[in-house]
Amino acid sequence: MHTKRVIPCLDVKDGRVVKGINFVNLRDAGDISEVSSAYDKAGADELVFLDITASSDARDTQLEWVREVASRVFIPFTVGGGIRTVDDVRAILREGADKVAINSAAIMNPQIVSDAAKKFGSQCVVVAIDAKRRPDGEGWTIYKNGGRVDMGIDAVEWAGEVCRLGAGEILLTSMDCDGTNNGYDTELTKAVADRVDIPVIASGGAGKPEHFYDAIEAGAEAVLAASLFHYKELEISEVKSYLRSRGVSVRL
């Protein structure tokens, strides 16, 4: 069995870690470098850092934030937000990130996924998918610009396409479950995991250890959470101990 990963996510706005519910009502959760360092010490397997307003503000990711976090952590580190070109990917990797997460740019220009994978290797390229269930309940569509714009594209179909283009991982966020603590959208997770042959990181909705297990049972190779960890409602060590008790292979 593959070792499953537990990953905290840092949503960053104006240099601060923030967290909301269903992508709105953001509240402060601390300084980027301090939060990153704490997670490194707490046993996180990786970190994901998302500059959540870079795309909607039509600006690049703040490289000094990337540099600061990279200097404080010794675990793999993914950066997303405002990445539009292969040069942007190069700049972020050069500042110390191990992977880049591409969302809006991949939707508007899918070729960037292929180009980045060819240039730096698929293992560096994570495609982030923000998905919301359709009003009729039949499937999910993807959104760009931090969940602001419905693209009308089927999420499962899009996951298959980015896999074909060369993505190494999918960071799959349920907008419906985001920040609710009611559990991941396991139906969405399973639909995407069944469609692709690359790792799927489940994101959005974790509230208790059982939720992490449910997402892994649905096919996730990694489970991501933000507010739950930021506000100390659960420790990473607690999640890992629970998963181990349920027979899941994790790094303690």
Which residue numbers are catalytic?
Answer: 11, 130
Selection from 2, 72, 6 nearest residue 225 by Cα: 6
Tokens describing residue 107: 């939707």
* Exposure class string for 162-189: b at 16+ Cβ within 10 A, else e: bbebbbbbbbbbbbbbbbebebbbbebb
CB atoms within 10 A of CB 12: 24
Residues 24/9, Cβ–Cβ less than 8 Å = no
In the block, which residue shows the tokens 């609710």?
180
DSSP output for 9-37: EEEEETTEEEEEETTEEEEEEEEHHHHHH
Please report which helix (H) or strand (E) contains residue 77, including its range: strand 77-80
Task: Give the C-alpha separation, 74 to 251, whole Å.
Answer: 15
